[in-house]
Amino acid sequence: MTRSTHETQSEVCESEHIQQDVTLLSAKARALTENLTVYRAIPQQQLRMVGPWCFVDHFGPVATKNYRQFDVAPHPHIGLQTITWLFSGELKHLDSLGYEQPLRRGQLNLMTAGNGISHAEVAEQNLQQPLHGLQLWCALPEQHEQVAPSFEHYRELPHFAIDDVMAELILGKYESYRSPGTTFHPCIAMLLTTPKNAQATIKLNKEFEYALYVVSGSLYLTHPTNAKFNQGHGAHEHEVISLGANRSELTLAFGADTRVMLLGGEAFPQPVTMWWNYVSHNAERIRQADTDWQQGHARFGKVAHYQGERLLGPAIPAGLGVSTSNRKS
């Protein structure tokens, strides 16, 4: 998917590189289209990045009648990997490499933008379920930022139990399990689900930063303890628990009908800049990509079978790459 063309400010995404107190944050509601409101978990002022994860939007559920005409026109990406993860509904991915791939619940569409790709997403025919999912962006490390673009689709991913909770490994590895999706930097994306009250102890990599996003239901921390969670408050739908780094395990109590996305990874040594649909360690690469897209440069190719015009972005800001957030020094 694309960020809204109304979002004209660039983001500087970086990590704190430390273990921090457990922090509870709320995702911010944003109108992406007339019928589609998203909840932005990352980036926000208090959580710019989690390992390489620089962008997390939660969309839906949107009734089938309201997304029957769902149509995200061709738009460009550089310097990242994108995952559209569906809990229900169907979309079709079309890109400038020639792929036309339907996406359904539990399947992985992993697009590596690298030096440049364009793609579109449209509603599938014969819709039966509401549209509900997450859009995840994983920034590429500087040494791999300009790799050739690629696309992968997987119908099956590792499923396993962690105590009383079911886990679905979307990207990265967890103990002996490994996702088939290609990664360029140590990271993990794992969905945790339970239909009933349950508890699980999650093993963590002390070198990783972590965050938990509550898609639905409720979540409580048993260990480590924290004042914001000790009195039964917990975290609920559209809330984020930021954990920082230097932890080896985490014990969680889940309410009934709970879905939680665990994201983690090694922090980048330097911040990345994100503007519109571009991510880079070098702001000048974003400026060049924007010029190339506006001028129809061959690096972004064409989405051959898309019926309609491509999407043009907002005017690039003069201060691209300059942070406007109040981060710690």
Q: How far apart are CA 26 and CA 49, in angstroms?
A: 15
115 in Cβ contact with 149 (< 8 Å) = yes
Check the annotation: does 144 bind a ligand.
no
Distance CA 82, CA 151 (A): 10
What's the token pair of residue 1?
């998917």
CA angle 221, 224, 225 (to 5 degrees): 70
List Cα–Cα distances, 231 to 25, 206, 220, 221, 225, in angstroms: 17, 27, 10, 11, 10
Q: How many residues does the chain have?
A: 329
Q: Which two structure tokens, joined as six digits, stand for 79? A: 């310097």
User: For 43, which DSSP code?
Assistant: S
Chain-centroid distance of CA 289 in Å reads 21
Nearest 5 degrees, angle CA 72-CA 77-CA 78? 175
Does 119 show up as a binding residue in the annotation? yes
What value, to the nearest 5°, has the Cα angle with vertex 213 and ends 133 and 267? 110
Q: How far apart are CA 108 and CA 33, in angstroms?
A: 24
Alpha helices in the chain (DSSP H): 64-67, 227-230, 283-294
Query: Is 207 known to sit in a ligand binding site?
Result: no
**Would you say 77 is a known binding-site residue?**
yes
Residue 88 and residue 129 in contact, taking contact as beta carbons nearer than 8 Å: yes
- Show binding-site residues: 75, 77, 119, 121
- Show binding-site residues for Fe cation: 75, 77, 119, 121
